């Protein structure tokens, strides 16, 4: 028989060679932004945080064990997390943009970078990024953009989902 106690965060068992941990509570977050026209000034050859002047562009519609603070995702429970992020933007016609998830606390990139080429004003470009984070409690993550020539981009819509895989 297995019982449930709200103070328990994980089930532990030994598989004969190592201890395994199964989360009881699935830490997760869901959110993004919709129907925006946020033009972001992007300096050439500089990673730029995708945010607005008030640092409140991103909205968390649901979160448990994760928070949004100043347009940064803050992890409150250590572990490995996976999910996705999709964003729609207008970028300079024929201009290349590269996107990444960056761990500000640890000063390191999480996962891989994904690029897209802008199609000019009024033409939407969408980028989808798989997310995989190896996080320590208290780590802050940003979504960032980069371009070699400093061409600004306007961000319109985004959605993200993130949940813990294991501790």
pLDDT tens string 8-39: 566 777 778 887 776 677 889 999 999 999 99
Task: Identify the pLDDT of residue 12.
Answer: 74
Give CATH for domain 26-166.
Answer: 2.60.120.40
User: How high does pLDDT run on average in the chain?
Assistant: 90
Q: Are 29 and 60 in contact (CB under 8 A)?
A: yes
Q: List the structure tokens of 144.
A: 């960032």
Sequence spans of domains, the chain? 26-166
- The contacts of residue 9 (CB under 8 Å, 6+ apart) are 23, 24, 25, 77, 167
Task: Identify the pLDDT of residue 23.
Answer: 64
Residue 6: pLDDT band (50, 70, 90) is: low
Q: Which residue matches tokens 């070699």?
A: 148
Q: What is the pTM of this model?
A: 0.86
């Amino acid at each position: 028989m297995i019982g449930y106690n709200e103070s328990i965060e994980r089930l532990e068992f030994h598989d004969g060679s190592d201890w395994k941990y199964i989360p009881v509570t699935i830490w997760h977050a869901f959110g993004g932004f919709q129907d925006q026209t946020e033009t972001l000034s992007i300096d050439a050859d500089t990673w730029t945080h995708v945010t607005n002047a008030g640092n409140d562009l991103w909205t968390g519609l649901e979160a448990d064990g994760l928070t949004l603070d100043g347009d940064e995702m803050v992890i409150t429970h250590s572990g490995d997390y996976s999910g996705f992020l999709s964003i729609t933007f207008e970028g300079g016609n024929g201009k290349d943009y590269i996107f990444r998830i960056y761990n500000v606390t640890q000063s390191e990139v999480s996962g891989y970078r994904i690029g897209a080429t802008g199609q000019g004003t009024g033409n939407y470009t969408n980028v989808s990024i798989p997310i995989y984070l190896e996080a320590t409690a208290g780590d802050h993550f940003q979504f960032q953009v980069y371009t070699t020539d400093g061409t600004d981009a306007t961000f319109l819509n985004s959605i993200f989902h993130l949940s813990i895989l294991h501790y």
